Amino acid sequence: MEAARSDETLRPATADGHAGPAWPLGKPWPEAQPLGSGPPPDDIMIEFRDLYKSFGEKHILRGVTMAIPKGVSTVIMGGSGTGKSVTIKHVVGLLKADQGEVWVHGENVDELSKDGLDQLRLKIGFLFQSGALFDSMTVYEQMDFVLKRHTDLDADGRKDRIMETLEWVNLPKTTSQYPSELSGGQRKRIGLARSIILQPDIMVYDEPTTGLDPISVRVVSNLINRLRDERGITSMTITHDLLCAEMISDHVFYLLDGVYAESGTLAEVAQSDKPEIREFFGDEYAMMFKTVRDGA
Amino acid sequence: MASKPAILNLSAFTEGLARVGEFGSFVGDFFKRFWRPPFEWKEVWRQMDEVGVKSFLLTAVTGLAIGVVLAMQSRGTLARFGAEAVLPKMLALSLVKEIGPVFTSLVLAGRVGAGIGAEIGSMRVTEQIDALEVGSLKPYNYLVITRVIACVVMFPILTVWADAIGLFGGFMESYIVGNVDYRVFFASAFDSLTFPDIIVDTGKTAIFGFIVASVSSFLGYTVRGGTREVGQAAMQSVVTSILLILVADVIVVAVSLALFAPD
């Protein structure tokens, strides 16, 4: 189990220059800017500023404030109904904030025009909990659908890109299969392939390993890590899965009652003094981290 | 205690009004977007196959049954007045002007409306619509506009098909019972029809198709919850479509009579 890394930065910058600088380990985690202060610094990819969201009488988010630097894998944890999914849906404009600001790629999401939002969404990949594959299309068709709409690639170019992406998720033989013919783990990987086919800078994962067996959890988590390490993709992941969180997290935010109650490495959050968080992780888990730390 | 139900009713009433407003905006979006890219021709074609080709048998059986039963029922009554000879005219007018278009549309509202409501609804609850949205793939164009266009085009075609099969059914009944020659039957039937009969009364099914597709798409698109709500959306799609078709029929007939009143 590796709660923190020993190298100087969280990960090496990619050779092709696609990745921006990763957040150095020694540097304190960035604070979000105050409301109305304009775009965040260039090295901040996503920023929530005092975000509020209610559905009728239900107050889900009550002032979420956090900044996510470029090239870092952030995990959001918390009990059911604490607003994790609601938070990430603001990143892609699926929900509009009642109050507060959401900055992504230097743009205030709620102030974008429809076209502006479409352009921003092309820079973000979103892996839904169920994979959200289109039932009426084969694996090839759904990836081709995205490429046809958003690139100038000809049929051969699109085919090359699709096969390259499917090989990347290790499912090159599924092209003619419909979603109903795939297993849960395969659906997640095809969903991942579809969401990265436009080569986004940011990935948002909504419970990417829920319902998968431990082997599939490792496969999907490794793919998430590879996206971060090889392509420098900034990611934001919701998960309850401790194995997945251990494998992918650089930084963890724990949401409680609509605000984040704790933030730090997974080990730091797991050893929180807050009873709700201790209960979430379990005393044995916190103790395990403590033992590893003390042993080191 | 007395005020509580009143408050509840008021709340239900305002919710209903809000829903109608939402539907109005949803339909308004169709007119704002259908002539702008992206044009999903492949999906329109697929939907025309889904709505049209796959409904040919159902509408044929409906038309045949109506034609045969109408001929059987009318023959006795007409015979009492010695007017059996007008049976083809009566059949053609009844079928083409009212029974064919309305019955066909009601049958299609059941098949197509439930299908659209359930399909789009299940796409909503399984986050497929969100995935289209997040991928900047314009789900409204892909899911709604394609289905509305398919229904607007296919409802009149299926109505003409059902009318033709209905007339054929009427002829078969006349041939078996009265040994009527097909030339006499069809000459008499078509002689009774005028331009407005065919164009207006068949054309009104394009409006019915619009109603079925837009109502069902709306109810599917705005589903919240799970499979239970998807089932409800499918059922409501059929019920609402049928009611609106009947209301629209009254309005279209009143307007067409005002515009093309027989001398």
Task: Answer whether residue A228 is part of any domain.
Answer: yes
pLDDT value of residue B7 = 61
pLDDT tops 60 at residue A16: no
pLDDT tops 60 at residue A14: no
Tell me the chain B residues in contact with residue A126 when contact means C-beta distances shorter than 8 Å.
131, 134-135
Q: With a cut of 50, which residues of chain B have pLDDT below it? A: 1-2
At residue A106, φ and ψ (nearest 5 deg) are: 80, 10
Query: Which residue in this structure is represented by tokens 């033989």?
Result: A173
Task: Answer whether residue A7 is part of any domain.
Answer: yes
Determine contact, residues A264/A66, Cβ cutoff 8 Å: no
Determine contact, residues A180/A131, Cβ cutoff 8 Å: no
CA A151 – CA A90 distance, rounded (Å)? 26
Task: Answer whether residue A285 is part of any domain.
Answer: no
pLDDT value of residue B178 = 86
pLDDT value of residue A2 = 38
Into how many domains does chain A fold?
Answer: 1
Q: Which B residues, 150 through 189, put their C-beta within 8 Å of a C-beta on chain A?
A: none
Determine contact, residues A107/A120, Cβ cutoff 8 Å: yes
Going B80 to B81 to B82 to B86, the CA torsion angle's sign is: negative
Q: CATH code at A209?
A: 3.40.50.300
Which range in A109-113, A211-215, A259-263 is most confidently predicted, on average pLDDT? A109-113
Task: Answer whether residue A257 is part of any domain.
Answer: yes
State whether A150 and B136 contact (CB < 8 Å): yes
| pLDDT (tens digit per residue) in A221-243 | 999 999 999 889 999 999 988 99
Measured between CB atoms, which of B38, B133, B135 is closest to A146? B135
Indicate the SS3 state at residue B226: coil
Task: Answer whether residue A192 is part of any domain.
Answer: no
Q: Which domain holds residue A113?
A: 1-131+202-265
pLDDT value of residue A5 = 40
pLDDT value of residue B125 = 95
State whether A121 and B136 contact (CB < 8 Å): yes
Q: What is the mean pLDDT of residues A17-38?
A: 74
pLDDT tops 70 at residue A294: no
At residue A67, φ and ψ (nearest 5 deg) are: -125, 140
Instruction: Determine the residue of chain B that is closest to A194 in CA distance.
Output: B135
Q: What is the mean pLDDT of residues A35-61?
A: 93
Q: Which B residues, 184 through 223, put their C-beta within 8 Å of a C-beta on chain A?
A: none
Closest of B58, B90, B61 to residue B73, by C-alpha: B90
Task: Answer whether residue A148 is part of any domain.
Answer: no
pLDDT value of residue A226 = 92
pLDDT tops 80 at residue A3: no
pLDDT value of residue B192 = 85
Confidence of residue A290 (pLDDT cuts 50, 70, 90): low
Instruction: Determine the residue of chain A that is closest to B46 in CA distance.
Output: A136
State whether A94 and B135 contact (CB < 8 Å): no
How far is A122 from chain B, CA to nearest CA, in Å? 7
pLDDT tops 70 at residue A293: no
Confidence of residue A288 (pLDDT cuts 50, 70, 90): confident
Query: Which residue in this structure is represented by tokens 């594959």?
Result: A133
Tell me the chain B residues in contact with residue A118 when contact means C-beta distances shorter than 8 Å.
136
CA A203 – CA A207 distance, rounded (Å)? 12
Asked if B28 is an interface residue toward chain A (Cβ–Cβ < 8 A), one would say: no
pLDDT tops 70 at residue A8: no
Looking at this predicted complex, what is its ipTM? 0.87
Confidence of residue A212 (pLDDT cuts 50, 70, 90): confident
Confidence of residue A18 (pLDDT cuts 50, 70, 90): very low
State whether B135 and A121 contact (CB < 8 Å): yes
pLDDT greater at residue A66 or residue A290: A66
How far is A9 from chain B, CA to nearest CA, in Å? 31
Tell me the chain B residues in contact with residue A119 when contact means C-beta distances shorter than 8 Å.
136
Query: Please, how many CA atoms are within 13 Å of residue A54, restricted to the half-sphere of its CB?
Result: 7
